[in-house]
Amino acid sequence: VGLIGSKLIEQIIQNAARIKDSLGIELIINGLSNSRKMLISADALDPGNYAPLLESSKTPANINQLIEKMVDYNFTHSIFIDNTASAEVPRFYERILDNNISISTPNKVAMSSEFNQFIGLKSLSKKRGVPFKYETNVAAGLPVISTLENLINSGDQISKIEAVLSGSVSYIFNTFSANGPDFSEVVKEAQTLGFTEPDPREDLSGADVRRKILILAREAGSEVESTDIEIHSILNDACLNAQSVEDFYVELGKDNQRFRSSVTSAEKENKRLRFIASFEGGKGVISLKAVPVNHPFYALSGSDNMIVLHSNRYNRTPLVVRGPGAGADVTAAGVLAEIIGIAGLI
Amino acid sequence: VGLIGSKLIEQIIQNAARIKDSLGIELIINGLSNSRKMLISADALDPGNYAPLLESSKTPANINQLIEKMVDYNFTHSIFIDNTASAEVPRFYERILDNNISISTPNKVAMSSEFNQFIGLKSLSKKRGVPFKYETNVAAGLPVISTLENLINSGDQISKIEAVLSGSVSYIFNTFSANGPDFSEVVKEAQTLGFTEPDPREDLSGADVRRKILILAREAGSEVESTDIEIHSILNDACLNAQSVEDFYVELGKDNQRFRSSVTSAEKENKRLRFIASFEGGKGVISLKAVPVNHPFYALSGSDNMIVLHSNRYNRTPLVVRGPGAGADVTAAGVLAEIIGIAGLI
């Protein structure tokens, strides 16, 4: 139970009575795990007391044993929720689904690994009739994957996806201006405010955006691998290869003049810099672009995400979803909405 | 079977094999009706031949008898689809749901009538465990009602809704400019192009927008009646009261100067005219506003709809959905996606 997990339990406590009353769905927690300890029981756990309960557990965390127990208890109508970013947990998805247990997860690892693994899990979910859902993989609680699913299910064909998918990079380029502080200062401030990962290169390198556009492309029906998405890096090699975050900032400081020229020339043309992922014709590109005032990405503010879908039906003007696409609160809410949706299906 | 209905059947024909193959859902049509004739059968009808089949039917259309037959045949897992704008068909929704038959409809009549009727149908659907869905009531295939549903289900509270909900009025104000043709000419052109109803006052009066914002407010959890939504009419009384469409245009022609001044003064301040519905604190207002360049509605183009949701969780920046919100093709696709969703639930 980490940041998203604890927010989710908080939201379950706050809403369980209303959900039972208005939707007839009773949410029961039978198991919990963090990276150190775990707890699983045939009886419902008290969500209001989850932290001390888990802390006092004598059982060390072991994902293999946790799933063994879930299968043993033969829980009907149960949902496995992976609120981690771990690469280990997704290795068990197949076994979970195969035992008729649904999955809801914001963890992008399984969906952004090899296409065969992604499609294998989708097929297994279909074969077993067990929901496998991951709306919060992209843009947290914003309705993106379900929207793509509805378009594809109803026979539409996606011709092009354009998206701003990194709230932290958005925040940085919404703050950076021709007459303001240096780029390295803006990045450092965003890190201090908690908008970036502890190592800001995880955001600025585009690797996370690549995972997201890859998942959207696959949802849109493309058999595509990570290598089909090209990243035009914002950072130079010296920055990318720096051994520590401290060294990274030293290298970024040496490159400030390049960022200064980019933003100055963009502003001269009344344009703004945006870190855009696009997918079209089987290929994806992620790059920093200067967009003009009439471009949909121009007016983005704060750390907003924006997803623009062009399709056979949405051809003259696209379907657009926009809003805060990160944060434990909106991600947990997205997972809770998904759990309720799954409960209606199982 | 009218415009949306025939598009829906066309999409079913095009996608039935794929839907069966990839989702395991077999779509079967057992009954059809237009305003003159109907057809219902225990055996599947041939969708590819629906028009001549219906035309050759000896049974005059009778919604009462149609539903009687549906109940008699005791179809399991069946969905009643009301693709009309009729006020008569929704009178049977209660009986349909009460007989465990799901409903999917773009028809706004039931959801925008008295609150008691709306909530009665919602309760009945819940009590019987029979889906009653109407995503296409507002903004056609755009994910608006399901998004509100997810926010509310997960415990969010909507503080404010702002929306542009009339594609035809959007088109008119996207075309009307200080130096272009008179307002009455722009309206006439929009009518000729099929962007408005045959009587453009049905769009310009705001009555249809009122139904839509009322439905959104109710989905957001407000017990609200049509009279709680105030319309600041675009049209003067002479236009609204004109006996014929021809007379309406004569009256509108006399009022062109007023529209000319509005658009000229808006453009002088670098603003654009938008027909905006908003709901906040239990009250709704629909009015023409001049919005500045940084306003989310400023950049709307064509006949786009845009829905802006402010909530407890989406408080710093709102959740926004935008795109074409009308048209038989996208509406039918929305209904088809909804049918597939219901099939997963029943």
Q: ipTM for the complex? A: 0.94
Q: Is residue B294's pLDDT more than 90?
A: no
pLDDT band of A21, cuts 50, 70, 90: very high
Query: CA-CA-CA-CA torsion for B331, B333, B334, B337, nearest 10 degrees?
Result: 160
CB A77 within 8 A of CB A97: no
Predicted confidence at residue B193, as pLDDT, reads 87
Contacts of B127 (CB under 8 A, 6+ apart): none
Is B156's Cβ below 8 Å from some Cβ in A? yes
Predicted confidence at residue B153, as pLDDT, reads 95
> CA gyration radius for chain A?
21
Inter-chain CB proximity B24 and A329 less than 8 Å = no
Max Cα-Cα span within chain A: 66
Tell the burial category of B270 from Cβ atoms under 10 Å away from its Cβ (0-12, 13-18, 19+).
exposed
pLDDT band of B231, cuts 50, 70, 90: very high
State the smallest CA–CA distance between residue B327 and chain A in angstroms. Answer: 10
Is B318's Cβ below 8 Å from some Cβ in A? yes
Q: B153-324 architecture in CATH? A: 2-Layer Sandwich (3.30)
Is B22's Cβ below 8 Å from some Cβ in A? yes
Predicted confidence at residue A261, as pLDDT, reads 97
* Nearest residue of chain A to residue B155 (CA atoms): A15
Predicted confidence at residue A258, as pLDDT, reads 97
Q: A153-323 architecture in CATH? A: 2-Layer Sandwich (3.30)
Share above pLDDT 90 across residues of chain A, in percent, rounded to a whole number? 90
Query: For residue B302, is it left (φ>0), alpha (ψ between -120 and 50) or beta?
Result: left
Phi then psi for residue A304, to 5 deg, are -65, 145
Phi then psi for residue A107, to 5 deg, are -70, 120
Strands B229-231, B283-291: pairing kind: parallel
Among A74-78, A135-139, A218-222, B216-220, the least confident range:
A74-78
Altogether, the residues listed in chain A come to a count of: 346
pLDDT band of A56, cuts 50, 70, 90: very high
Is A324's Cβ below 8 Å from some Cβ in B? yes
Q: Is residue A195's pLDDT more than 90?
A: no
pLDDT in tens, A156-194: 999 999 999 999 999 999 999 999 999 999 999 999 988
Q: Is residue B1's pLDDT more than 80?
A: no
Inter-chain CB proximity A324 and B304 less than 8 Å = no
* Nearest residue of chain A to residue B320 (CA atoms): A322
Amino acid at B220: A
Predicted confidence at residue B47, as pLDDT, reads 94
Q: Contacts of residue B299 in chain A, CB cutoff 8 Å?
A: 294, 296, 299
CB A152 within 8 A of CB A126: no
pLDDT in tens, B296-336: 899 898 889 999 999 999 999 999 999 999 889 999 999 99
Predicted confidence at residue A98, as pLDDT, reads 95
State the smallest CA–CA distance between residue B242 and chain A in angstroms. Answer: 35
Kindly state the average pLDDT of the residues A66-75: 89
Predicted confidence at residue A299, as pLDDT, reads 86
Share above pLDDT 70 across residues of chain B, in percent, rounded to a whole number? 100
Find the CB nearest B154 among A15, A22, A323.
Answer: A15
Q: Contacts of residue B316 in chain A, CB cutoff 8 Å?
A: 302, 324
Residue of B158, B303, B313 to mutate, testing the A interface (most A Cβ within 10 Å of its Cβ): B313
Inter-chain CB proximity A319 and B320 less than 8 Å = no
pLDDT band of B295, cuts 50, 70, 90: confident
| Coil, strand or helix at A134 | coil
Is A333's Cβ below 8 Å from some Cβ in B? yes
CB B307 within 8 A of CB B320: yes
pLDDT in tens, A126-163: 999 999 999 999 999 999 999 999 999 999 999 999 99
Q: Is residue A93's pLDDT more than 80?
A: yes
The sign one gets for the Cα dihedral B272, B273, B277, B279 is positive
State the smallest CA–CA distance between residue B118 and chain A in angstroms. Answer: 15
CB A168 within 8 A of CB A186: no
Q: Contacts of residue B296 in chain A, CB cutoff 8 Å?
A: 299
Kindly state the average pLDDT of the residues B245-252: 97
Inter-chain CB proximity B301 and A323 less than 8 Å = no
Question: pLDDT: is A2 or A41 the higher one?
Answer: A41
CB B319 within 8 A of CB B303: no
pLDDT band of A346, cuts 50, 70, 90: confident
Active site residue B108: no
Query: For residue B281, is it left (φ>0), alpha (ψ between -120 and 50) or beta?
Result: left
Chain B stretch 244-303, residues whose beta carbon is closer than 8 A to a beta carbon of chain A: 293-294, 296, 299, 301-302
Predicted confidence at residue A201, as pLDDT, reads 95
Angle at which helix A328-345 crosses helix B328-345, to 10 degrees, equals: 70
Q: Contacts of residue A129 in chain B, CB cutoff 8 Å?
A: 24
Q: Is residue A1's pLDDT more than 90?
A: no
Predicted confidence at residue A236, as pLDDT, reads 96
DSSP string over A170-220 = HHHHHH--TTSS-HHHHHHHHHHTTSS-SSTHHHHTSHHHHHHHHHHHHHT
Catalytic residue among B7, B122, B212, B268: B212
Query: CA-CA-CA-CA torsion for A293, A296, A302, A307, nearest 10 degrees?
Result: -160
Tell the burial category of A256 from Cβ atoms under 10 Å away from its Cβ (0-12, 13-18, 19+).
middle
Predicted confidence at residue A132, as pLDDT, reads 97
Q: Contacts of residue A333 in chain B, CB cutoff 8 Å?
A: 151, 154-156, 313
CB B225 within 8 A of CB B210: no
Phi then psi for residue B307, to 5 deg, are -125, 125
User: How far, in Å, CA of A95 to CA of B141, rounded?
Assistant: 36
Share above pLDDT 90 across residues of chain B, in percent, rounded to a whole number? 90
Residue recorded with tokens 């520590």 = A244
pLDDT in tens, B36-93: 999 999 999 999 999 999 999 999 999 999 999 998 987 778 999 999 999 999 999 9
Class of domain B3-140+328-345: alpha beta
Is A340's Cβ below 8 Å from some Cβ in B? yes
- Computed over every residue of chain A, the mean pLDDT equals 95
Predicted confidence at residue A2, as pLDDT, reads 83
- Computed over every residue of chain B, the mean pLDDT equals 95
pLDDT in tens, B154-182: 999 999 999 999 999 999 999 999 999 99
Q: Where do the structural domains in chain A lie, given as residue ranges?
A: 3-140+328-345, 153-323
Kindly state the average pLDDT of the residues A116-135: 95
Catalytic residue among A69, A108, A133, A212: A212
pLDDT in tens, A286-333: 999 999 987 889 989 888 999 999 999 999 999 999 999 988 999 999
Contacts of A58 (CB under 8 A, 6+ apart): none
Q: Contacts of residue B129 in chain A, CB cutoff 8 Å?
A: 24
Strands B102-104, B79-81: pairing kind: parallel
* Nearest residue of chain A to residue B13 (CA atoms): A155
CB B294 within 8 A of CB B228: no
DSSP string over B213-255 = HHHHHHHTT----GGGEEE--SS-HHHHH-SSHHHHHHHHHHT
Predicted confidence at residue B74, as pLDDT, reads 78
Contacts of A64 (CB under 8 A, 6+ apart): A92
Inter-chain CB proximity B319 and A142 less than 8 Å = yes
The sign one gets for the Cα dihedral B176, B181, B183, B189 is negative
B314-A213-B307 Cα angle (round to 5)? 30
Predicted confidence at residue A48, as pLDDT, reads 93
